[in-house]
Amino acid sequence: MKKLLPFLLLMALCGSCRKPQDTPPLQSILTDGVWRISLYKQNNSNNTFLYTGWQFRFNADKTVDVSNGTQTFAGTWNEDPRADNFEIKITSTEQELSDISHLWFNKLLTYRQVLFQNNKTNPTKELQFTKL
């Protein structure tokens, strides 16, 4: 019995260990709802205020509809799960949309918030979307 007790304790401990949850797929996150930019930093300067009132709807067909309340813009988005990146392209003369239209690397993905960086090792830009 003395030899069996440590084994049972070890099994109980192993059974109580939880596997970390996998990050949800980006497409399933983005295509569920309407999003706003809750953070846009460039060279440590917070420029989030430029996106006040902007709304983003990411569609399953990899298109994105963007509205600032008075105008609507169209674009595309794509993800590469193997490379852990996200690309957004919005055709517009609006500087705010040009600034975010490029390749981003995933930093944090949750069902309510996604955070991207423009460079994994030395980011100079960060872009965060939060679900409305």
Tens of pLDDT, residues 94-116? 999 999 999 999 999 999 999 99
> Would you say residue 2 has pLDDT above 60?
no
Tens of pLDDT, residues 50-74? 999 999 999 999 999 999 999 999 9
Domains of the chain plus CATH, in order, are 24-131 (2.40.128.270)
The pTM for the full model equals: 0.81
CA angle 36–115–47, rounded 5-degree value: 60
Distance in Å from the first CA to the final CA of the chain:
58
Q: What does DSSP say about strands 45-46 and 85-90: parallel, antiparallel, or unpaired?
A: unpaired
Indicate the residue type of 49.
F
Instruction: Classify residue 66 by burial, with Cβ atoms within 10 Å: 0-12, 13-18, 19+.
Output: buried
Structure confidence at residue 12 (pLDDT): 52
At residue 21 the predicted structure's pLDDT band, cuts being 50, 70 and 90, is low
> Would you say residue 18 has pLDDT above 70?
no
> Would you say residue 16 has pLDDT above 50?
no
- The average confidence (pLDDT) of the chain is 87
